[in-house]
Amino acid sequence: MLANNQGNSTKITELKQKLKLITQELTYTTTHASNCTFIGGGYLTIQEHPILGRHNNHQEKQALDAINIMQNIEWELCPIAVKYVEKPKHDLDTQEKKVAWQQHIDMSTTVYQEMMDAGNSFWLSCRFDFRGRMYTQGHYINLQSTGYKKSLLNFKHRELIK
């Protein structure tokens, strides 16, 4: 798999560090009652503003309760869906596209296996865009991605609704 290549070994080490970032529930908070200075949110080691983009940040009130509700949902990968391989959405008509796709599949497989080996329990980090739309973060595991990637996600604590 990827571990045979030195460059890929470094990527896997970085990947393991990133996986640790989403294996604990974290919430955004404010430093005072005016709801203006944001602390935390989503990651253990990175303090990020809840709004995406360097130039879009402002200190106005944000719906931190909504983003925290989404970030407090515990997820797991579906062990059945992980066994299937993602299909490309577009034609792989050049060698470069084929190589890039295979690298994507190899890294995705590694991410999924690492997550399963780490206990298969995680939370998705969320942020707003400048319009107030909420997005989950993550390239390989993301609620707002392709149908295949959505099919990988299960609620960790499921409830029967009658």
Q: Which of 83, 72, 158, 156 is nearest to 120 (CA)?
A: 156
Q: Helix 95-117 and helix 6-21: axis angle, to 10°? A: 50
Instruction: Provide the residue ranges of all domains of the chain, joining segments of one domain with +.
Output: 2-155
Strand extents, DSSP E, the chain: 28-30, 38-40, 74-77, 122-123, 126-128, 134-136, 153-155
Q: Which two tokens stand for residue 104?
A: 């994507």
Residues for the chain: how many in total? 162
Model pLDDT for residues 37-61, shown as the tens digit of each residue: 455 555 555 566 666 666 666 666 7
Over range 19-35, report the average pLDDT: 54
Measure the CA–CA gap between 27 and 41, rounded to whole angstroms: 5
| CA quadruple 99, 89, 139, 119: dihedral, nearest 10 | -90
| pLDDT the model gives residue 91 | 93
Residue 87 pairs with which residues in a beta bridge?
Answer: none
Name the band, by pLDDT with cuts 50, 70 and 90, for residue 150: very high
